[in-house]
A and B are shown apart, each in its own frame.
Chain A
């Protein structure tokens, strides 16, 4: 799985927890919380989904590092690849 695939997965799971964002353009480096008004429950549900799908451990202290899709792909890649 390469970085682009991880980005795609991150976006898919984001849309799953926030279906109202379907169809929105999500720039790679956009701050997800600010740009899309994600609250702490949305973020936790998203991290839960990434954990389930990829089997990657994401400690709570690391969650703030998943700032944008690009950051998230980098983080996941470092853990998985």
Chain B
């Protein structure tokens, strides 16, 4: 049998490196396709990274706390037969096993790791990583280790990781080496604007991606005013009788309308790979979400063209909440095939987007407004929205882009068909 390695994924063209916060599985544990294997700190915050095929967790090659470039081997993955070969006990080791609780082969594999892992004091590391130093406080193993080294009480910290877990960044903010937590200055003790997110680092990432986009991608821009009266009335009538949890936002209609229009315009949905276009069958719509204090993230709503409106709404709600509080997954950041940016109800009439490489198009929606519109020869007030398209001229032309916006406008005239 021969295994593969799991590498530091690229979560966007602007990412160069990531820091391992923790492994979520132990050697010998079964990983299903899509399972989270590790939590990685990036410029976009703490991200859960997933495996892309069924496998068995193998030997970790880097330690929590290490920062490695994209593409670096992080851990070995064993084929599924590995479970059978190691005996029946190994496959059943699930979840965060307590210190002596992991069974048979899994535990053995973890102990063997001590001799081969890079970094300092591997023996202590694995022992401390599994010792619940502060019962009842959620913290990553790396954070526990560092807290123990520095004499910081975890219970006094506010966690910014998944489910409020304390992660390395929280410790860095709380104290310098040798200093106890209360010594932190008020400025350092203030919680970050968003869980685990370094806004300055995010600014750099956005700067790098947008500079590259403007340098390399020959954008063309189109805009189209769309009569949104029917859709607005339809949405208002639909939401009127529903409890808040079941209501839809107009932005969801925009995402769905874009998603179902794109399959007829494959040159707008996919990736630029070194100047060659790679179309995508799937439509994963990145939904640009602003972060208070600055910055934005556009995580994907996967297969948005195949989901009904209520499901798109639920996905969007879930994504926004995880943008606010942490817990975005790697696939959501790395695989949008197109981006939709809606200004919502407190913006301006139109926005011209900048393509997020390696994507080839971004669709923008301004703030819907009441404006004059000609209907059957008369001027009447209607609810209007301006949709824009910025697309990569290497892979599509303005004529096709115009047809796309016209088709999109048509979709929005039949909201009940979305």
Contacts and interface: CB of A to CB of B under 8 A. Distances in A.
B191 interface: yes
Contacts of B290: 37, 39
Contact of B292 (A20, A41, A44): A20
Interface stretch (A1-9, A55-63, A69-77): A55-63
B281 interface: no
A21 B344 CA distance: 20
Q: Which of A20, A36, A58, A61 has the most CB of B within 10 A?
A: A20
B35 to A, nearest CB: 26
A10 interface: no
A48 B318 CA distance: 14
Contacts of A37: 290, 292
B191 A59 contact: no
Contacts of B324: 17-20
Nearest to A37: B292
Contacts of A44: 244, 247, 249, 317
Contacts of A79: none
Interface stretch (B15-23, B91-99, B235-243): B235-243
Contacts of A20: 193-195, 291-293, 324
Nearest to B319: A41
Nearest to A52: B245
B321 A17 contact: yes
Contacts of A40: 249-251, 344-345
A36 B321 CA distance: 16
Nearest to A18: B324
B240 A61 contact: yes
Contacts of B262: none
Nearest to B248: A44
A51 B240 contact: no
B320 interface: yes
Contacts of B325: 19
9 contacts: A17-B324, A21-B292, A39-B290, A40-B344, A41-B316, A44-B317, A45-B317, A45-B321, A60-B240
- A-B pairs, top 10 by smallest CB distance, nearest first, are A48-B244, A47-B244, A60-B239, A20-B194, A41-B320, A48-B245, A51-B244, A20-B193, A40-B344, A19-B325
Interface of B: 190-191, 193-195, 236, 239-240, 243-245, 247, 249-251, 290-293, 316-317, 320-321, 324-325, 344-346
